Amino acid sequence: MKKTVIIGAGILGASVGYELAKQGAQVTIVDREDSGQATKAAAGIICPWISQRRNKRWYRLAMEGARYYPALVEELQASGECNTGYKKVGAISPHNNIDKLEAMVKRTLKRKEDAPEIGDVTILSEQESKRLFPPLADGYQSVYVSGAARVDGWALRNSLLSAAQKLDAIFLQTDCSLLMENGTVIGIKTAHETILADEVIITAGVWANELLQPLKLAIDLSFQKGQIIHLQMPEVNSDDWPVVMPPHDQYILSLNGNRIVIGATHENDEALDYRLTMGGMKEIMEKALLFAPGLLNSTFLEAKVGFRPFTADFLPIFGRIPGQDSVIFANGLGASGLTMGPYLGQQLAKLALDKELDIPAADYALDEFISEK
Ligand code: FAD
């Protein structure tokens, strides 16, 4: 039985851990739960199909990721995980320009040829749009996509960890680093123990480069800070609202428990800045109120900060670290990591178990991003 250790349990690490445990590997998952963990702060939109992004490699992972969700959630529920945080609620994209709405319908229907899970794609009148999402401003029709979903990243991550532990995986909430012998990684060490492993899988988000220091390697990674706000409307049941994707860079969705999420900022800073800022809150509230003035009287519950891990060309990367046959590295899930994470986790588990992947690994290779330090 292969002995595997996963460093980092955001959505990606938790997904790999679950898949490996399912396939009978011996699994230890280690996570130090950094504040700023992307998965915990994320919004939770699963709707890659209406994006105008043209990169085929990105779209492939996002599309496969969205497709993978229903089966995964069913499987988790069957293993007793009832709070996966996933719900298919559909999405609306409001606009006051009918030409733009029609172009979006056309684009999305074309993608439906390969992705029937997109479901119905229709233009809703102003009245129909408001019926689905009552806080909407006057004057907007919308494109409705029935296959879109939302997911609470933290709830799903915890379900995956819990399901993995039922399959005998071990979860340690602690810091760790690589354990080396004669220049080769042979496992990990924490403050309390060393753990030997046949495979070490690094899914450590924006903190991943710290782990590579003993190998004198660095990966060209960057990050984008996201601030995000949670609200609630008194006496309003928002649990089944669709995801709302206006034509700016922010969105509105609801999570279980009548939570309404608005955001998020996209801040390209030089260093990790864990602060919530007035500027961030102002931007989020102004953009949300532009399309949803009905939220004006909602209750402010909390705000969060998370760091989206990016590579230089905005694509996820994964593979074995050169010269270290037992170390797999995966990162760069960017702004769509909740969508892609579970599917990519399944692929990483296949890589770790020397099975054939369903995607061309060369499209996401590490090589051009690695340099010696
Ligand atoms: P993370 O979730 O950051 O997890 C990395 C983990 O590694 C952390 O827990 C950290 O503590 C741990 N770690 C690091 N180093 C060590 C170490 N040495 N020892 C132990 N543990 C370690 N995606 C979507 O698909 N839809 C969305 O709507 C969406 N909205 C978003 C909104 C915001 C505000 C943000 C920030 C992100 C959003 N994303 C969304 C993107 C998505 O959240 C990320 O791409 C994804 O969560 C990245 O997951 P990850 O597992 O790679 O990293």
In tens, the pLDDT along 100-130 reads 999 999 999 999 999 999 999 999 999 999 9
- Whether ligand 1 lies within 6 angstroms of the CB of 339 is answered as yes
- Whether ligand 1 lies within 6 angstroms of the CB of 342 is answered as no
In the reported structure, the alpha carbon of residue 134 is separated from the centroid of ligand 1 by a whole-number distance in angstroms of 31
In the reported structure, the alpha carbon of residue 205 is separated from the centroid of ligand 1 by a whole-number distance in angstroms of 6
Residue 2 class from Cβ within 10 Å (0-12 exposed, 13-18 middle, 19+ buried)? middle
- Whether ligand 1 lies within 6 angstroms of the CB of 149 is answered as no
In the reported structure, the alpha carbon of residue 106 is separated from the centroid of ligand 1 by a whole-number distance in angstroms of 33
Which residue has the CA at smallest separation from atom 42 of ligand 1?
337
Give the chain's mean pLDDT.
96
Q: How confident is the model over 262-290, as pLDDT tens digits?
A: 999 999 988 999 999 999 999 999 999 99
- Whether ligand 1 lies within 6 angstroms of the CB of 267 is answered as no
The pTM assigned to this predicted structure is 0.97
Mean pLDDT across 145-171 = 98
Given this model, what pLDDT does residue 299 score? Answer: 97
Phi, psi of 8 (to 5 degrees): 105, 120
Contact 340, 62 (CB under 8 A): yes
Given this model, what pLDDT does residue 54 score? Answer: 79
Residue 237 class from Cβ within 10 Å (0-12 exposed, 13-18 middle, 19+ buried)? exposed
- Whether ligand 1 lies within 6 angstroms of the CB of 243 is answered as no
Q: Which residues contact 267 (CB under 8 A, 6 or more apart)?
A: 224, 225, 226, 227, 273, 280
As beta bridge partners, residue 218 has: 371
Question: Half-sphere exposure of 70 toward its Cβ, with a 13 Å CA cutoff?
Answer: 9
Closest CA to 64 of 370, 346, 300, 364: 346
Phi, psi of 344 (to 5 degrees): -65, -35
Helix axes 153-166, 56-78, angle to 10 degrees: 60
Q: Roughly how many angstroms between the first and final C-alpha of the chain, as a whole number? A: 35
Counting from 1 in the atom list of ligand 1, the atom nearest the Cα of 340 is 25
Which residue has the CA at smallest separation from atom 15 of ligand 1?
204
Pairing relationship of beta strands 217-219 and 259-263 according to DSSP bridges: unpaired
